[in-house]
Chain A
Amino acid sequence: MEKIPILRMGNLLLVTIQVDLYDRLAETLESDLVQMIKKTGARGVLIDISAVSIIDSFMGRIIGNIATMSKILDAETVVVGMQPAVAITLVELGLPLNGVLTALNVEKGMELLKKKIAEEEPEEEEDHGDTE
């Protein structure tokens, strides 16, 4: 059966979705990812959807699920590279994915993940620049 590969990079998991999602594939990704987080103790998940041209309510829900489940397992999820047409369609559909962190591309997504993970690690006390 077709599967979406999950790559491990240090304490991060990297998923690049290269094909258009269909329901079974998305469901498999959800369970594979959750298993992987548990197994590797990953602190962050980055999902690159720049090649995905259709996200409907089912696949949108899976993306939301992954973010929520990772959070419970103490990992942050960032979705990167959503195409403009997909973003407009999701909003019109009524699924703005409010709880999901997003970034423009993989590079910015990585930065965001590292920042989020650092914020949660008090022992690595960093100079927190003040906001505004």
Chain B
Amino acid sequence: MVTLNRESMSIMREIDVIPFRNRLKEYAVKIGMSLVNQTKIITAASELARNMLKYANGGKVTIEVVSKGRENGIRMVFKDEGPGIPDIDKAMKDGFSTGKSLGLGLPGTKRLVSEFAITSEVGKGTTVIVTKWKNG
């Protein structure tokens, strides 16, 4: 996988999510992603950004345009220094929530993207990396 372009933004308040979503949309349009895949990746991004705000008081997101063979895609790294997730398997289950919400953010995001990876350490923070291929 080769990175063609990289940009970081910090998400500290709810209003930061809007320029982030717009930027992501620009990249997705630029690489010629279909409307359905654009919608999927922006929705996933919206979920992960909310999690950072809600559970970790914010964090940083990096958007990258990546390429592998003939496929182009968008990769995003969401990194926070929040409380971390004690049981990732549990957090990845549909309906699990400590925030009195639907518990669809993490598992739903995984279904919406092509590649999904999460690492978390209690007391240190959480990192979620997702990739969506143009035709994936």
Contact = CB atoms under 8 A, between A and B. Distances in A.
Interface stretch (B4-12, B43-51, B75-83): B43-51
A93 B108 contact: yes
A56 B40 contact: no
Interface in A31-75: 53-58, 60-61
A84 B36 CA distance: 8
A55 B44 CA distance: 10
Interface string B22-40: 0000000000000110111
B108 A23 contact: no
Contact of A85 (B35, B101, B108, B111): B35
Contacts of B102: 57, 60-61, 95
Interface string B106-136: 0111011000000000000000000000000
A57 B108 contact: yes
A26 B35 CA distance: 23
Interface residues of A, number: 22
Contacts, number: 69
- Size category of the B interface is 20 to 34
B14 A86 contact: no
Interface string B75-100: 00000000000000000001000000
Nearest to B18: A22
Contacts of A86: 39
A80 to B, nearest CB: 18
A88 interface: yes
Given A57-B47, A93-B108, A88 B18 contact: no
Contacts of A20: 18, 21
Nearest to A19: B18
Contact of B108 (A22, A88, A92): A92
Interface of A: 20, 22-24, 53-58, 60-61, 83-86, 88-89, 92-95
Interface of B: 14-15, 17-18, 21, 35-36, 38-40, 42-43, 46-47, 50, 94, 101-102, 104-105, 107-109, 111-112
6 contacts: A53-B39, A56-B46, A56-B50, A56-B105, A92-B112, A95-B102
Given A53-B42, A92-B111, 18 more contacts: A20-B18, A20-B21, A23-B50, A54-B39, A56-B43, A56-B47, A56-B50, A57-B101, A57-B105, A57-B108, A61-B101, A83-B39, A85-B38, A85-B40, A89-B39, A89-B43, A92-B108, A94-B108
